[in-house]
Every structure is written in C-alpha cells, then in structure tokens.
Structure 1
C-alpha cells in the first residue's frame, strides 16, 4: 500500500512540474494567446479607461472602446514574425458589422487574411491560411450599433501545424509520454 502512495505522489509532482513549469507544452498545443501583453496601437479610444492595452490583458472584464465612428483599428505588435492562423475577438455589445483581419511585417504594407461584411457581434473565432506576420490588425469598417467599437479581448494564435518554438517539429508531448513511462517503470512500481 505504501508503494502506491509513493507512486501517486511521484506522479502528481511530475505532472505538476510538467504543466506548471513547462510553457512549451502549451505552445506545442497551439493554445497560447501570443498577443497577451504585447504592444498595441489603436486609432482612437473612448477614454483612458478604455485604452487599447485592455484588449490584450487577458482580463475579460476590461475592454478597448473606440470613439463613436466607423473606420477604426487596433494593431498588435507580436514583437517578431510568427506563423499565425487564428484570431479571436471577444466583442462587447458595440461590435463591428463589417471588419477585416490584416497582417503585416513592417506595420505599413497590409494583407487581408479575413473579411466579414455581415457580422453578428458574437465571439469571433477566425481561422485563415497560415501566414508569417509581426503585426496583426483588426480593421473595423462599419459599426453594428450607434456606439463605437468595443473589444474585451483580441487574441492571436500560432499555426497549430507547426511548432515554431521547436524547429525540429517535435512537440514536448513526447516528453510527457516519456515521463509517464518513467513513472510506470520506476523501481517503486516493481513488485
């Protein structure tokens, strides 16, 4: 009975170390919001309380809000070129009826990777063909309400088919499998 307790404790400690101490596992799964905490530029803000950085702070209670006019934008600088294929916009009630997602490597020349001219304001999960980009822009063309545009979270995700953190394209999930195998075959499990 004592051996099972030691095995269980060892497994718990190992799992905690893998999941809490190894961000590469999250990156390998493609689930890391790479826009989190990055530099942001916006065309306008309703007030200082609704600044652009609120859209990349991972706090679903804060938001960026533009002035009450069409043709606004929010741009996130990822800090370096990244291979991306997904954007998520968590709209407040003041959503964009028409908008585009654009990408750039120099913050001057933009390429449209997604466009929607009949949006409904729901949480938008936008997938597109993978592209390398440093800057990601939500170009907000037409308001869906009388208010400005308002975004709780503007998230950007790397392409899940390529692990840029690990150029050999092997994921750290194999490390997890090996760790599990080591626990199973540990001397404590042998009877």
Structure 2
C-alpha cells in the first residue's frame, strides 16, 4: 500500500510462512485473473484479521476477523472501546490475543485485546498528545512485542497475568529519532534482529539491526525506489513491498533472505496495480495480500510458488467496495508460541500439597487457561513449603517451563522425578516475582513428574498459579 508519508504507512504482521517453496526469480503479471471460488485452498481453516476504511485517518477504520472454519465475518472493534481508527491487528502466536494500533487521548497507542472476550482492549502504551505508537508485531514465541514509538523501534517484554497483559520492560532498539525515523518493525524468527523501514519518500529503504550489538545493515535500499513493510517467515525469508519503478511507483511484493541477495519480484503481483501488506500462512506456500486489481484495495490469498490468486469476495470480506481492506494477518489455529518445543503438560493429571478450596485445585493450572482459572495453595504463614506437580505419563526431556503467577514464590525450584519419590532440581531461584508470566528457557532435565517446589512466598497470600506449562519432547 502506498501513502504520502512514512508516518502514514500501514503495517500488519504475518508471523510465519512455510519454507516449502523455493523462490525463483519471477515477474509481475498484467491484471492477473482470479482463480475460481471452488478451487480456494481447503487447508485454510484458521482466522484472518484485517481492517477497512474509506480514507486513512478519517475515523472509519474498523477491525474484522473472518473465521474460515465457522464461515463467519465479525467486526470485533466496538464504539464502546473509545478507540478511533483501530487498525493493523496481529494475532499472538497462540491466537488468544490481537495487538493493534488506534487513537486515544489524541495519540496513537498500541492495544492488546483478548479474542472473543467482552472486555475492552488494554492500552499498553498509554500515551497522550502527539506521541505515535504504531505497527505492533509479536515475537515468534509471544514473549515480546515490537512497535514503533515516535520514530524509534521499541522491544517490549510481555507478561500475561490474570489481570491481562502488561509490559515488564521496554527497550529502545534503534534510538536514532528524531533525526532518523524507523518504522514497521518485524523481528527475525529468533528475535535476535529486527527488520524495519528507514527514510522518507523515495529514500525509504529496508534495514536489519542486530539487537544485542546494534549493528545495522541495509537489507534492500535501492536508490529512488521506496521499499518498506518487511514480513519474515520462519526460514528467514523476508517479504516486503517496493516500487515497481521510480516512474510508476506501483507497489510490488518482493522476497529475499540475505542483504546481498537479488530481490525476487513475485509473480503474484499485478504489474498495473498496487500490491502490498503480505501476510504469510505457516506451513504452506500461501500469502494473504491486498491488491487493487479488482478495484480499490481488496484482499486476496496467493500461492507464492505458482502465482495463483484467489479473491476473498466469496467470504464477504470485499463486499463493501467503498472501503479499502488492508493489514491482513492470518492465524492458522495451531499454536506456534514456543518453536522447537512441545507442550507436554496441558490436560495431564495434577496434584498439589494443598488447595485453598475445592475450586482452586491443581488441575486448574494445567487446563490451558492462563487468565481465569488457577491453583491456590493454603494462605498465609501456614503455607510454608508448597508444591504443584504434573504427571506427564512417561519420562520426557524437559527444555522449558512457563509459570503464570497469580501470587508468586520468592524462593522456588523446578524439580523432576522418574518415580515421584526421588527429585532432581533443574532450576532454582531466590529472587522470584510476586505475579506475572515467568518463562524459564534452556532447561536441561528429564522425568515423568515435574513440580514447582516453593519454599518462600513472595506475597502475603499463599502460592497461586494461573497456569504451569512444561515444554520438551
């Protein structure tokens, strides 16, 4: 999508696209034909988020979700939210949340909303006045949110508690504003680097910065050809938009992996129209996109290996021809929140040293709900040492544990056992938190039984976990 200034450019995230297709040098096609509705890919059974408006900033923007399994189209943004022009919604890796941008208190802010809930979105940035917080993107494990704030790329660490998501830290990655404006961030699959657009007008180009060292390199910044909107799939391939030529200034979708690679202009492009907002589909060769082929910005899904394109009109998505449909983001329905690991604990038998009452029992910490169900131990000084345990059913390799604390432990261990008698500690701390999401990565252990063994409370209450997730293989 082409707009008049980088501050008005719209970004939406695609978390992943399959590595099944090997990209080859392609070319755009003049007015590509739509494939038949009957041949629409049957594997697309997830959910699609997007926004539509008449003109950018006119107050008409609304966020929609189309459910390909239920065949339902729902406007999820509501006037009761009090948010003007909500847009650029992206799903969290587990599909439970969307992050988006919108205007409150005369400022652009970043919000997170629990999908399907009646609760209002949570304002994560709480800015006022002329501050601009835009273009949110989740990391591939869901633990971070990247966004633009007043011309810099920010990296925020997320914590999910019973009260909803919160930022536990916010770090300025680029730190070059206002002299240099960076926008539309998208993290690499391992979150070690971030891609973003820098510059203005025809000088807008793509860059990649290594977060730990702040080393910045030009990824694709051709002279006189505006280039922006990076979206990264799991194998490291970057999809983005750039002008067809300095003369036509029509947006085309390109791909490449390394800064030194030759840009690949995809055959899904219409040479005579604008093509933008690529949103890849994990595990397939498909890509959602916006294009002006059939008049105005409409939504399509395209096969990047064959160039075939399907218009989403049959689903009612493009029915209002007066509005542009942009910022598509697809969630496949399969959690990708912890790459390379399997969730072992959900729904497995659980027990605890105590429970506060018959409703706050051990099984509630393994039911997949990180928000509204929990295990509570007995409270106060009587709590002393308490534990929460899950039976994985067989000896497993343990690589990570996520703890969603409602009331935390100051001192605790993660222990494993093969026989529920002899225990080995694979993690120990004396600086635990009072509440929030704690992710314990890179653990090395094995066992059939895994437990949180708390020896000192962090609050005046007992120990309480909304959810305990054990990952491994």
What TM-score do the two structures reach when normalised by structure 2?
0.30
Over 3 Å counting, the alpha-carbon distance change for 1:128 and 1:141 in structure 2 is: farther
2:63 paired with 1:63: no
Report the number of matched residues: 152
How many angstroms does 1:31 deviate by? 5.1
The equivalences for 1:45-84 within 5 A come to 45-59=355-369, 60-68=371-379, 69-84=383-398
CA distance, structure 2, for counterparts of residue 86 and residue 102 of structure 1: 12
Question: Whose helix fraction is larger, Structure 1's or Structure 2's?
Answer: 1
2:405–2:465: 8 Å Cα contact kept in structure 1?
Answer: yes
Q: Alignment partner of 1:14: what SS?
A: coil
In structure 2, relative to structure 1, the CA distance for the partners of 1:28 and 1:50 (3 Å cut) is closer
Task: Tell me the residue number matched to 1:3.
Answer: 35
Q: List runs of 5+ in structure 2 lacking aligned partners.
A: 1-32, 47-282, 284-331
Shift in Å, 1:27? 10
Instruction: From 61, 83, 86, give the equivalent of 2:400.
Output: 86
Using the TM superposition, give the Cα deviation of residue 78 of structure 1 relative to its aligned residue in structure 2, in angstroms. 0.5
The C-alpha deviation readout for 1:121-152, integer Å capped at 9, x for no partner, is: 33111124432211101001101112110100
1:140 aligns with 2:169: no
SS in 1 for 2:400: strand
Contact 1:101 1:112 in 2 (8 A): yes
CA distance in 2 between counterparts of 1:128 and 1:106 reads 24
RMSD over equivalenced CA pairs, Å: 2.5
The answer to which structure has the higher strand fraction is: 2
Instruction: Kindly indicate whether residue 127 of structure 2 is the aligned counterpart of residue 95 of structure 1.
Output: no
Deviation at 1:33, TM superposition (A): 2.4
3-state SS of the aligned residue for 2:444?
Answer: strand
Aligned to 1:106: 419
Q: Which residue of 115, 118, 123 corresponds with 2:428?
A: 115
Measured after TM superposition, the shift of residue 120 of structure 1 is: 1.9
Report if the CA contact (8 A) 2:413-2:453 is conserved. Answer: yes
Counterparts of 2:430 and 2:338, CA distance in 1: 33
Cα-to-partner distance string for 1:150-171 (whole Å, 9 max, x where unaligned): 100010111xxxxx5xxxxxxx
The alpha-carbon distance between structure 1 residues 46 and 131, as it changes in their structure 2 partners (threshold 3 A), is: same
Kindly state the Cα deviation for residue 117 of structure 1 after the two structures are TM-superposed: 0.4
Q: 1:29 offset after TM fit, Å?
A: 3.7
Name the structure 2 match of 1:36.
346
- Please tell me whether the aligned partners of residues 106 and 135 of structure 1 are also in contact (alpha carbons under 8 angstroms): yes
Which residue of the partner structure matches residue 179 of structure 1?
Answer: none
- Contact 1:90–1:154 under 8 Å retained in 2: yes
- List, as ranges, runs of 4+ consecutive aligned residues in structure 1 with deviation greater than 6 Å: none
CA displacement 1:79-110 (0-9 Å, x = unmatched): 11111110001000x21111000011111111
- Answer yes or no: is the 8 Å Cα contact 1:114–1:128 preserved in 2: no
1:28/1:138 CA distance change after superposition, 3 Å: closer
Unaligned runs of 5+ in 1: 159-163, 165-191
Q: Does the aligned pair in 1 maintain the 2:411–2:455 contact within 8 Å? A: yes
1:98–1:140 Cα contact (<8 Å) kept: yes
Q: Does the 8 Å CA contact 2:426/2:444 hold for their aligned counterparts?
A: no
